[in-house]
Homo-oligomer: A and B are copies of this chain.
Amino acid sequence: MTEVLVHTRRAETLREVLENDIVTGAYPAGTRLDEVMLATRFNVSRTPIREALIELSGAGLVEIRPRRGAFVREIGITRLIEMFEVMADLEAMCGRLAARRIRAEELAELEQIHEACVHAKAEGDPDAYFRANQAFHEAIYKASHNSFLEEQALLLQNRLKVYRRLQLRVPNRISGSLSEHGQIVEAIKAGEPQRAAEALRQHILIQGERFNDFVASVAGHVKSVSSRS
């Protein structure tokens, strides 16, 4: 998870740190990211900061308003649901292709990760489950054998990471998630594209649809959709 690699460009590492800070909520939505503030914080000049902000803007995490600065993007509930809707479709596509193209060793790994999920739940360790869950989905992306799709899925997954994590705090959600995983594995194993796709779509959509349930607990991250300036 935590890259130890030393990048040659500072902008690269800065982007990763800032991305993490935004995703974890250290910089809540709407926060203005002052260039000199960040520059002093990281002991660099404004140049690499600007480049990092531009990268983040490309990833959709910050919004750059010309001559006004960079802001942590406000994600309205509507947009969040839209993103989950697309994520569900991407994951369904991964599942559909994986059911057709998965290799024996990939299937073995997927089942092994699924076991790890079961284990994490039994241990009652939500963080471990979150990590195993993420590995589970990434294994399916990879098994689609469409590297572009894999990249896109990873990108969007990353943007939704915080919210998926919060989702697991909902009572009984882990149990539900786990049994859905089981069905997904079954469908892929059986080589049934349609079933795998639908199982994955529902698995993701549940997170998006039930979102209103815990909107209150995310009040800091999610801004009401009515506040469109």
Contact = CB atoms under 8 A, between A and B. Distances in A.
Interface of A: 7-9, 11-12, 47, 50-51, 54-55, 57-59, 66-67, 79, 82-83, 85-86, 89-90, 93, 146-149, 152
B66 A149 contact: no
A200 B80 CA distance: 25
Contacts of A50: 51
Nearest to A83: B148
A86 B93 contact: yes
Contacts of A83: 148
A86 B149 contact: yes
Nearest to A84: B148
A61 to B, nearest CB: 11
A71 B163 CA distance: 35
Contact of A54 (B54, B90, B148): B54
B146 A9 contact: no
12 contacts: A9-B66, A12-B66, A51-B54, A54-B58, A58-B59, A79-B147, A82-B146, A82-B147, A82-B149, A85-B146, A86-B93, A89-B90
A89 B93 contact: yes
A152 B153 CA distance: 12
Contacts of A148: 79, 82-83, 85-86
Nearest to A150: B82
Given A54-B51, A55-B54, A66 B152 contact: no
A47 B82 CA distance: 36
Contact of A66 (B7, B54, B59, B79): B7
B58 A152 contact: no
Nearest to A11: B54
Nearest to A12: B66
Contacts of A89: 89-90, 93
A89 B153 CA distance: 13
